[in-house]
Amino acid sequence: MMPAFNWPPDPYILALTGIGMLIALVTWLPLALKRLPLSLPIVCVALGAALFALPQIKLSPLPQAYPVLTERFAEFVVIIALMGAGLKLDRIFSIRRWAVAWRLLVITMPLGIAAITAIGVWVVGLPWPAALLLGAALAPTDPVLAADVQVGPPRSGEEDEVRFGLTAEAGLNDGFAFPFVNLALALAVATTTGEPWATQWITHAVFWEVGAGIAGGWLVGRMFGWLTFHIPAESKLAQTGDGLIAIAATLVSYGLTEIIQCYGFLAVFVTAVTLRASHRAHDFHHDMHAITEQVERIAMMVLLLLLGGALVAGLLAPIGWVELAAAIAILIIVRPVTGLIGLLGFPADRRERMMLAFFGIRGVGSIYYLAYGLNHFPFVGGDRLWAIVGLVVLLSILLHGLTVTPLMRTLDRTHGRDPDAPIPPPGLQGPGGAEASHDV
C-alpha cells in the first residue's frame, strides 16, 4: 500500500530543504547582485523578516532571549571573517605600507568611541558605562558585512588604497576595540562596588591582552605557515589541497589565545597575515581563502536571517525619535567626520579619503560586543541598547548596501579597471593547476 500523503512535512525534511535553498542563495546571489545597487545583507535581512513574519513560525529570535547563543554565534562569524580578511591581503606588512590602517585604527576609532559615548550620555541619556559599551560596540568597522568594500581574493590585484585600508582596518579594529569594552565593564563594576579598576585595566586588558594576542597570533601563524609550506614536500599541508586548514588555523589561534586570556580576534587576524606571509605567492592561499569565504557567507546569511526575524519580533520597540536621531548621527556624522580627521595629510585623493571615511560599516562585530558586554554585566536598559545597535546595523546595511556597488564601480573606473571584467573564482588555481607557482 502506498503511504498516505502527510502535511505538513517532517520538520527535519523542511530543515534540509531550507538549508539547501540557503546554500543555493549564498552561491548565486553575489553574482546576481554584482551590478545592482543592492547587497547580499539587504536581501538576507529582508528574507528573514518575511520568514519570521509568517504565523506558522513561532520562534522569536530576539538576541535578549538567547544571550549566550547570540554571543557565541556572532563570535564564530567574526573570527572566520578575520581569517579571510588576513589571507587576502597582498600588501607586505610594514608600518609605512599600512599607514592608512594605522590612521583609521589609532585616530578614527578612539575618536568614534568618544563621540558615540558622548551621544549616548548627552543625547540618549545612558549612564557613562553603558554609553561607553555602546561606543565600543559601534565604533569598529565590521569585517563580515564589509566584504563588498574589501580587497579581492589573494593575488587578484584589487588592492587600491580604499579596499586595502578598509580590509586592514576591519581586521585590526575588532581586536583593538576590546580594551574599551573591558573599560566599560570595569567602570560598571566600579560604580556598584567602588573597587579600583585603573591599574588592572591598563596592565591586563590593555598591555597583556593586546601584546599576548599579537604574539600568540604570530606564533600560531608561523607554526601553520611552516606546516603548510615548508616541511618536506610529502607531508606539507599545502599538498592536501584542502582549504579547511584555514579553518583549523582560525580555531587553534582563537582557542589558544583565549585560553591565556588575551584578545583572540586580534590573534586570528595576525595569524592570517603571518600565514599569508610565510609563502606569499603560493596558490594554496586561494583554497584557504575560498573555504573561509564560503563558511563566512553561510554563517553570515543565517545570522542576518535571524536579525530580520528579530526586527519583526520587536527588537526596535524601544526606539523613539531620540534613539533614531542618535543612530543616524553615528552613521552619517560620527564615522565620516572622524574618518576624515584620521586621514588628514594622508597622500590620497579627496575621493578616496571620502570613501574610506564613509564606508565604516557596522554589523556582526557590534552584535558580538554588545552581547559580550551584557552577558558579563547586567547593564540597566539592555533592551534599549539592543534596539540602538540593531537600528544602526540595519541602517548601515541599507545605506552602505545601496551605495557600495555604484561607488566601488566608480572607484574601479578611476583606477583604470573594468568593473565588469570577469574575475576567476578563488580556488580554481589550487594544487592541481598552476603548479609552477607552488615552489616559488
Residue ranges and CATH numbers for the domains of the chain are 69-415 (1.20.1530.20)
Q: What is the pLDDT of residue 434?
A: 37
Cα(315)–Cα(290) distance, integer angstroms: 34
Q: What is the pLDDT of residue 6?
A: 66
State yes or no: pLDDT of 15 exceeds 60.
Answer: yes
SS3 label, residue 368: helix
Q: What is the pTM of this model?
A: 0.91
Candidates 140, 142, 160; CA nearest to 151 is: 160
H helices, E strands: number in the chain: 18, 0
Q: Which three cell numbers stand for residue 381?
A: 536598559
State yes or no: pLDDT of 98 exceeds 90.
Answer: yes
The mean-pLDDT minimum among 192-206, 233-247, 297-311 falls in 233-247
pLDDT digits 0-9 by tens, 127-178 = 999 999 999 999 999 998 877 788 888 877 667 889 999 999 999 998 899 9
The mean-pLDDT minimum among 156-165, 251-260, 266-275 falls in 156-165
Greatest pairwise CA separation for the chain in angstroms: 80
pLDDT digits 0-9 by tens, 35-92 = 777 788 888 899 899 888 888 777 889 999 999 999 999 999 999 999 999 999 999 9
State yes or no: pLDDT of 425 exceeds 70.
Answer: no
202-213 average pLDDT score: 95
CB-CB contact of 321 with 127 (8 Å): no
Residue 312 pLDDT grade (very low, low, confident, very high; cuts 50, 70, 90): very high
Q: Give the count of beta carbons closer than 10 Å to the beta carbon of residue 207.
A: 12
Mean pLDDT over all residues of the chain? 88
